Amino acid sequence: MKHVIVVLILLFAGVSNSIGQEKNLVPNPGFEVLDSCPKAFGEVHRLKYWENYHYTPDLFHECAATKYVKVPINFFGQQAPASGRAYAGITVYHQKYPNEIIGVKLKEPLQKGISYEARIKVSLAERYSRYATNNLGFLFTNEPRKAYNGKKVHVSAIEIISETQEWVTIGGVFVPDKTYQYMMIGNFFDHADTKRKEINPTVKYAAAYYYIDEVYVAKKGNRMSFSSSTLIAPGNTYRLDNVLFDFDKAILKSFSKTELLKLANLLQKNPSWKIQISGHTDNIGTEKDNMDLSLRRAQAVINFLVNEGNIKSQRLKAKGWGETQPVITNKTASGRARNRRVEFKILTN
């Protein structure tokens, strides 16, 4: 099984709103649909469809009856949802207690031999986490009550995820070896097989706790994440991961640099390649302003590749599409967030 780390900027909305997007097989992917509001820790049972498969995962929601499980500020830290009003949280490492596993029955089974893409947004909870770790990922199974400590995984983070301010997406592409009905999320390995890094020695909890949001599992689509693709080929379109901008601006956030340096490294290894950087927006604002903004954002990526990635400008072309190529509906906040994206395409080999 492949262990892949993917860092994305996409937010996932309901499957009924998708435009050219493969159907998300995860019910209630943003933890928004509740039977009732949480009142304490460990109340994943209040979520529709989701289950606690090991120990005590938590549900956080704006409607919570106690400050300990509210958003954006709660017992474990401070983070706004990736979209919507809610997220879940799990312990991925703890010196004294077991790892926590959350899961769900998929809308339809995964089929053997077909390529799927799995992604989830995560953010380290800074108030509870002395450590950051790797190994958080997906396991697909038909026996979720028995598989929580099997030391195997289909897609996971092989690098340590230490980001507390932004949502980072881990995921990748995989091919099931059999038909699977259930999905589990967590760390399926013991302490000896889990990398960890101390990031805040003043935190009293010898643990790594991650918020999770916007879960996505679907057949591999025609617009793949740059980081999740094992083979980059001319003519294909790839989303650039974690390329973030301030609202209505074309100034790259510092968090974007890691992914852009990966792209620069790819271009250095393939000196004959020329690429087109494409900027896209949602439909807020005028068409003219959005076209201009998308072009300026594409150019900002090119400027970074030239100035910090040492790529010759002659190999790079900027294109602004504005709001003309949505991948999902613009009727929701999460949909608009997904449509605000940067992609690249290899023009020549």
Predicted confidence (pLDDT) per residue in 92-120, tens digit: 999 999 999 999 999 999 999 999 989 89
Q: What is the pLDDT of residues 84-93, one digit of tens each?
A: 899 999 999 9
For residue 44, what pLDDT is reported? 96
Q: Which residues pair with 97 in a beta bridge?
A: none
For residue 232, what pLDDT is reported? 82
> What domains does the chain contain, in order, with CATH numbers?
15-219 (2.60.120.260), 231-348 (3.30.1330.60)
Q: Which residues pair with 132 in a beta bridge?
A: 197
Q: Using an 8 Å Cβ cutoff, are 273 and 234 in contact?
A: yes
Query: Alpha helices, DSSP H only, in 81-218?
Result: none
Between CA 93 and CA 186 the distance in angstroms is 10
Sites in the chain below the pLDDT cut of 70: 1-21, 222-223, 227-230, 241, 334, 348-349
Q: Which amino acid belongs to residue 94? A: H
DSSP category for residue 44 = G
Number of helical (H) and strand (E) elements in the chain, helices listed first = 3, 17
For residue 271, what pLDDT is reported? 93
pTM: 0.81
For residue 282, what pLDDT is reported? 92
Instruction: With H, G, I as helix, E, B as strand and everything else as coil, classify residue 114.
Output: coil
